[in-house]
Chains A and B, each alone.
Chain A
Amino acid sequence: MLKKEFIKGLWKENPVLRQLLGMCPTLAVTTSSLNGAAMGLATTFVVLSSGIVVSILRKIIPPQVRIPVFAVIIATFVTIADIVLKAHFPLISRELGPYVPLIVVNCLIMGRQEAFTSKNPIHLSIADTLGMGLGFTWLLVLLGSIREIMGMGTVFGMRIMPSTFEEWIIMVLPAGAFITLGLLAAFYNMINEKKMRS
């Protein structure tokens, strides 16, 4: 049970590829692998911690005002994440710019509270939110790496393409994010369809 809830976020119900949630940070900050990883981990921290708190409080939150309550809980952890990033990783914080505070409106996080943690006990909530957060993170790292390799010839800042390689500037522009994400989602569907048939 615990394992199932954790695993599903990684592939079967991947927040980006299957649920198509959190598109804004997915498209906007994945100009490099490092930015993708930082955004993914920050989101994982927020979804996990707010998931725990919502799960603990799930019986005393009045259902009529649950959305504002979730929002306040999420905003608390986003503020913590923002301040920690600013203090310890000022460079990454500057790169991500307004997208760290914007995690508060990431529909992936609100979606997990609404769909899962507000109805399930704490240990399942931890498994679920951790899986979702890591599923979000690995995709952001993959997307960021593809864009960084094609657009700048590097991955995590290390040059891996030969010096004769001509950088595809479009890949670090917004258009490159849309094209790459679309192709990734197409491959995801293709693989799933093949699995279904066999």
Chain B
Amino acid sequence: MKDKKTKEKKIKLNIIPAPHIGGSMSTGKMMRLTLLALLFPCFGAVYFFGVRVIYLFLCCISASLISEYAALKMRKAPLSTESFSSAAVTGVILALILPPGFPLWAAFIGAVFAILIVKHVFGGLGKNIFNPALMGRAFLAAAFPLIITQYAMTPRSLPYGLSPGLHSDAVSEATPLNRIKFEEKTPGSSFYIPYLLGERKGSAGETSGILILIGLAVLLLSGAADWRLPLSYFTSIAVFSGILWLFAPDKFINPIFTLLLGGVFLGGTYMVTDPVTTPASPKGKLVFGIGSGFLTVLIRTFSGYPEGVMFAILLMNAAVPLIERYTSPRIYGT
């Protein structure tokens, strides 16, 4: 009898911390949408650079998945679908920002570094400070500086055959940004349309601006990315390079080429919108985008590197805690 009484007295109270209103977006859904949006530049990469790029994709994705599995096992963390889909996203993005003819063994090392060191050493999914794919590429650029500049191929110069190796007739040339930087050859205005479509040398997935913009539209319309980040990034690049161009049109390239060349579209679509390594507050997002754009123009114009998107975004990644600190909205009642 006594037992029954105490049972009746127990009131069912579930204490749940705020927030009490949830959105429909989940990590898994966000990753699926990102993978969907990534399909467009992937098609572009295969169209422009041939079947070999598929090997690059398979290599990067399998390396990321294997290292994700190993890292989760080592940390005795649950093997969640979200972790694996985020690792797959990292693999795809890494393949997109590598040169199309990049050796597969080196791409494998880059993907393993991205997942094991950049992502899991800092605590795994949602806790990494730097964008893993970009850091993977930065690592490869620092480890193999010669290889990474050697394999920027002319579109369609790679054989369409199934061999993962490179034929001797594959043409490797300086990218347009390299030529602007080191040979001071600025392309004419007749190149706007071909460059927007993707007819140029560069990393596997960065060349076709139009396909990347379709991917960006998918991300924005489905709500997987915040419009503030890409918009502020593109605008700030256009504004800062525009200022330089107005001062000395013959010395600096115009803002349209600044946007079209290199990895601006790819970076602005898939890396600046990374929810893990960018600020959460709306104001912070604008600061992040403007800062990344400013640094991109700064590095491109005044440093020894022809391209600055990667370092600009990584530097801003490091500044995110600071941005959050000054832009977080005041908590009610404090």
A interface residue numbers (CB < 8 A to B): 166, 168-171, 173, 175, 179, 182, 186
- Known contacts A166-B106, A166-B147; A179 and B117 CB within 8 A of each other: yes
B244, chain A: closest CB distance, angstroms: 30
Does B147 lie within 8 Å of A169, measured CB to CB?
A: no
Q: CB < 8 Å: which of A166, A175, A182, A186 contacts B142?
A: A175
B144 and A166 within 8 A (CB): yes
Residue ID in chain A nearest B103 by CB atoms: A166
Q: How far is the CB of A177 from chain B (nearest CB, A)?
A: 13
Q: How far is the CA of A166 from the CA of B145 in the complex (A)?
A: 11
Contact B117–A169 (Cβ < 8 Å) = no
Nearest Cβ in chain B — how far from A104, in angstroms?
32
- A–B complex contacts, Cβ < 8 Å, 9 sampled: A166-B144, A168-B144, A169-B142, A169-B144, A170-B139, A170-B142, A170-B143, A175-B142, A179-B117
A34 to chain B, nearest CB (A): 22
What 1/0 flags go to B118-160 for Cβ under 8 Å of A?
0001000000000000000001001111010000000000000
- B117 proximity list for chain A (CB < 8 A): 179
Main secondary structure of the interface of B (DSSP, over half): helix
Question: Once bound together, how far apart are the Cα atoms of A140 and B142, in whole Å?
Answer: 23
- Which residue on chain B has the smallest CB distance to residue A168? B143
Q: Which residues of the other chain, A, contact B144 by a CB distance below 8 angstroms?
A: 166, 168-169
Look across to chain A and name the residue whose beta carbon is closest to the beta carbon of B113: A179
Q: How far is the CB of B323 from chain A (nearest CB, A)?
A: 24
Q: State which residues 83-128 of B face A: CB under 8 Å.
A: 106, 117, 121
Closest to A190 in B: B74
With A169-B142, A169-B144, A170-B143 known, 14 other A-B pairs at CB within 8 A are A166-B106, A166-B144, A166-B147, A168-B143, A168-B144, A169-B143, A169-B145, A170-B139, A170-B142, A173-B142, A175-B142, A179-B117, A182-B121, A186-B121
**For the complex, what is the distance from the CA of A171 to the CA of B140, rounded to whole Å?**
11
Q: Once the chains are docked, how many angstroms separate the CA of A179 from the CA of B116?
A: 12
Which of chain B's residues have a CB closer than 8 A to the CB of A179?
117
What is the CB-to-nearest-CB distance from B168 to chain A, in angstroms, rounded to a whole number?
19
